[in-house]
Chains A and B, each alone.
Chain A
C-alpha cells in the first residue's frame, strides 16, 4: 500500500475539521434566527470561536435574555478551554508572541482531542494534530458560518423551518458525549428541572446560570467510586 501523503494526526485533523465545520451551518442559521445580523454572526465565530459558547450566546439573546446574561453564559461554557490549554502546555511549550495568541484562540474541544489522541511519545504528531485541527476547524467553521447565516436570512420565519427546535437539539448534541457517568446524568436531570422551574420566575438567561450551580455542587465532592469526570 502506498504511504499516505498526510500523517495520522493530519488526516484526523482534516476529518475533524470538515465534520465540525459542517455544523457551522447550523450555527450561522440559528444565530440569524435568534435576531443577530450577518456581521454579528461572523464576529461571534471569529472572536468567540467555541461552538458551545456561541450557541449559548445566541440562544440566550434569542430567548429575550440580556446582553450581560449572554456574555456570562458564553463565558462559563468557555472555561473548559482554559483547562485544555493546561493539558496542551507540555505539548506546545514554548509558545510566545503571535503563536501564543493564535494558539490560544484555536484551543478548543477538537484541536485538544486530536492532539492528545496521538501517541504520548510522539511530540511532533501531537503538535501537528493541534495546529492542523485548530487552524482547519477555524477556517471551515468561519467560512461555513457565513453560508449558514445567508441561508438563515433567506428562510424567513425560523419556526416554519424548525430552527427553534434545531437549537435545542444542538445543545443536546453538545452535552451528549459528556453524559457517560451516573453523576453527570444526575447533574443533567436536576439542572434541566431547575432551569425550567425558574423560567417563569426569573428574567430570561438567569435560570440557566442558576442551574449551573447544580454543576458546582456536584463537583464539590469527589465521587465515592472513581468514575470518570467528563471533560
Chain B
C-alpha cells in the first residue's frame, strides 16, 4: 500500500465519519476516505448502497447526520468553484427550453458571480469543451433532439466548462452507446493526467476494473477503498454485494476474463 510518496499534499477530498439518514433511517454509516489528486476513482456497490447519496452528501446537497467533508483542506462552500458535478442524466427534464450551448454555459455560472452574464470568453470555453466531446456541431440543437449518449456528452462538456479540480459524476455511462462510453473514458483519463481528481459512480463491475485507478466499494458502509488491483477481489466484492448470486457470477466472470 504505497501512498504516492512523491507528492505529500493536502488530500483533494477528505471524508471523515460521514453518516447520512433519510427519514431517520441511515443510508450511509461512518464513511472515512481520503483521496489524493490525479486519481480516477470508481464508486461501486449494489443498488441502494448509497453511491449517489455519498457524492450528494459530499457537496452538501443532502444534510449530514454526522461527520465532515473537506475539499483541498477547505469546506465545500469555500471550494465550490473547484468542484464539478455531473448529475444523473434522468435527473433533468430534457424538454426544457434550452439548447446545447445554453446547457454548457451553465458550467460557467459558478465563476460568474451573482449578476454577470456569460460573455465571449465563456462562449469560447464552452465551444472548446463541446469540441472535446465531439458535440460542437450540435451547439444550437434543442436538447430534446439528442440521443442518450449525446445528452451525456453535453453534461460532460458542461462539467469541463466548470474547469474544476475535482469532479463528481453520477453514472455517466448509464444508457450510453459504446462510442460515447469510449469518448467519456478518454476525457476522464485526460483530466486525470492533468492532475484532477474524478469520482465516478459506476454500476458495471467488469468495466469498473478497466476504467478506474482506485475503487471505493460501498454498501452503506465503506467496504474497501484502494487501488483497483488490490480491492477487486472475490472476497471484498462478495462482502460488498452480499449473497446476490447473479452479481457474484458476474464478478467471477469479470475476474476470469481479466486473467
Q: Are A and B a genuine interacting pair, yes or no?
A: no
Interface residues of A (CB under 8 A from B): none
